[in-house]
Amino acid sequence: MSPSGQKFENSHRLRDIAHRLIPGGCHTYAKGDDQYPVLAPGFIARGLGSHVWDADGNEYIEYGMGNRAVGLGHAYPPVVQAAVQALATGCNFTRPNPIEVECAEQFLRLIDGAEMVKFCKDGSDATSGAVRLARAYTGRDLIACCGDHPFFSVDDWFIGTTAMNAGIPEATRKLTLTFRYNDIESVRALFEQHPGQIAAVILEPARTEDPKDNFLQELQRLCHAEGALFILDEMITGFRWHKSGAQKFYDIVPDLSTFGKAIANGFSVSALAGKREFMRLGGLDHFDKPRVFLLSTTHGAETHALAAAIASMQIYQREPVIEHLHRQGSRLAMQLDQVVRRHDLGSWFKIIGRPCCLLYGTLDQNGKPSQTFRTLFLQEIIRRGVLAPSLVVSYSHTDEDIERTVDAVDGALAVYRQALEHGVEKYLVGRPTEGVYRHYNRPSEVLASPPTDGVYRSAAATR
């Protein structure tokens, strides 16, 4: 795939308007302008399968897949058809719709250890609901979350642990503790320091590394011995590691678990699921404990979104979606590893994670993680027709997509190699990207003015 000039005139125009009307210019921090190079598509207009088109008509093979919310592919026909059919009879009513029962039955057939489920619209509500249940059930206030996992919720109990904690009272921040993944002693130390005070431990089943030495099972045993609930956040791992979640893959049944993202192939559906003993506290048929205001959302059971979820889950159940994700991810990782070795960049560019959920790491001349080199890499693969904040494949990614992506990365890493030798400033246009969690914005984040003609021209030599 040879580099070609790309115009971003519409994206630049929309960006100016967006930043006047919307704080940050968008509604998800991970989609913000500070997460992408100056020369990047600012707005995606449409998608189909594994491809997207930006507001200026430029086409890309995409690997962000809606921040991993699109597992089957953009505008996947059976899912869209199910949603449209449901919309034809109305999407929201004053009493429950039968599809709520149907969707719950379908979900609980897939997630073996769960006995009850409550649907909502985003992952934050689901994880916060799990935290509230744990506190109500145990009568304790403290929550322990994995400090190696980057995001659990927009709510105060989690955001208070990050550098971006403005507006969150110090008293609230003190209620959440952190531990290290695959380090059972770090959790044990928390229980020893706060005896009888921790309501729950919450973590992702895995991220870039698998649990070692039965870490999940040992952690669950420790939680139960200390009277705390064990919660798995499956927003990412659910419908990627296994159709029944990473809990099935790792052979463990949590007290509570949360799902979202790929459950409805991009439609807004998330889920809090778990054992009846805990979930019933949010219901009407218990009298031994106080009622828990668990989850109550006006739009939480919109019929078209639940129809999309049912269609998506049925596809996962009858088709080899998970096998395809692992196969294509493995194919991509293997070929990219060859490209990295060909450019002798093994010490500076890393492919990490499971094949079904690949990430990459960018390091500078000193072997330190570098946002500047990440920005350069993004810039160079974008100019070659690939949009890849991660390397997450979908059911729609074809062998041809993989081959074209490998070719694009090959060209981008040739520039990366030159930047290591001659200085990244010679090749990067504009400011580098920034991590989301930072206490202050920096002057360098002010959007650089694009080229006056709106055409993408890099200072980098091309192949």
What pLDDT digit, counting tens, does each position of 217-231 carry?
999 999 999 999 999
Same domain, 120 and 239: yes
Same domain, 96 and 237: yes
Cβ pair 111, 257 in contact under 8 A: yes
Q: Quick check: 3 pLDDT over 90?
A: no
- What is the reported pTM? 0.91
Cβ pair 286, 277 in contact under 8 A: no
* Average pLDDT of the chain, as a whole number: 92
Same domain, 193 and 120: yes
Same domain, 227 and 375: no
Strand partners, 270: 120
Cβ pair 265, 72 in contact under 8 A: yes
Q: Quick check: 460 pLDDT over 60?
A: no
| pLDDT score for 442 | 76
What pLDDT digit, counting tens, does each position of 70-86 carry?
999 999 999 999 999 99
Q: For the chain, how many structural domains are there in total? A: 2
Instruction: Band the pLDDT of 438: cuts 50, 70, 90.
Output: confident
User: Any idea which residue has 């594994």 for tokens?
Assistant: 50
Last residue of a domain, one of 240, 271, 301: 301
Same domain, 337 and 231: no
Q: Tell me whether residue 312 is in a domain.
A: no
Same domain, 291 and 263: yes
Instruction: Band the pLDDT of 433: cuts 50, 70, 90.
Output: confident
Coil, helix or strand at residue 349: strand
What pLDDT digit, counting tens, does each position of 98-146 carry?
999 999 999 999 998 899 999 999 999 999 999 999 999 999 999 999 9
CATH number of the domain encompassing residue 337: 3.90.1150.10
Same domain, 297 and 327: no
Q: Tell me whether residue 335 is in a domain.
A: yes
Report the distance separating Cα 223 and Cα 219, nearest Å: 6
> Among residues 280, 279, 273, 271, which one has the least CA distance to residue 301?
271
Last residue of a domain, one of 238, 267, 301: 301
> Among residues 257, 367, 268, 354, which one has the least CA distance to residue 308?
268
Q: Tell me whether residue 429 is in a domain.
A: yes
| pLDDT score for 440 | 79
Same domain, 135 and 275: yes
Q: Tell me whether residue 2 is in a domain.
A: no
DSSP state of 49: B
| pLDDT score for 459 | 37
Same domain, 48 and 103: no
| pLDDT score for 461 | 33
Same domain, 281 and 351: no
Q: Quick check: 452 pLDDT over 80?
A: no
Containing structural domain, residue 388: 9-75+321-445
Q: Tell me whether residue 87 is in a domain.
A: no
Same domain, 236 and 273: yes
CA dihedral 161, 163, 168, 172 (to 10 degrees): 20
Q: Tell me whether residue 314 is in a domain.
A: no
Q: Tell me whether residue 100 is in a domain.
A: yes
Same domain, 58 and 114: no
> Among residues 61, 49, 51, 52, which one has the least CA distance to residue 265?
49
CATH number of the domain encompassing residue 226: 3.40.640.10
What pLDDT digit, counting tens, does each position of 152-204 carry?
999 899 999 999 899 999 999 999 999 999 999 999 999 999 999 999 999 99
Q: Quick check: 347 pLDDT over 80?
A: yes
219 token code pair: 């952690």
Q: Tell me whether residue 454 is in a domain.
A: no
Coil, helix or strand at residue 16: helix
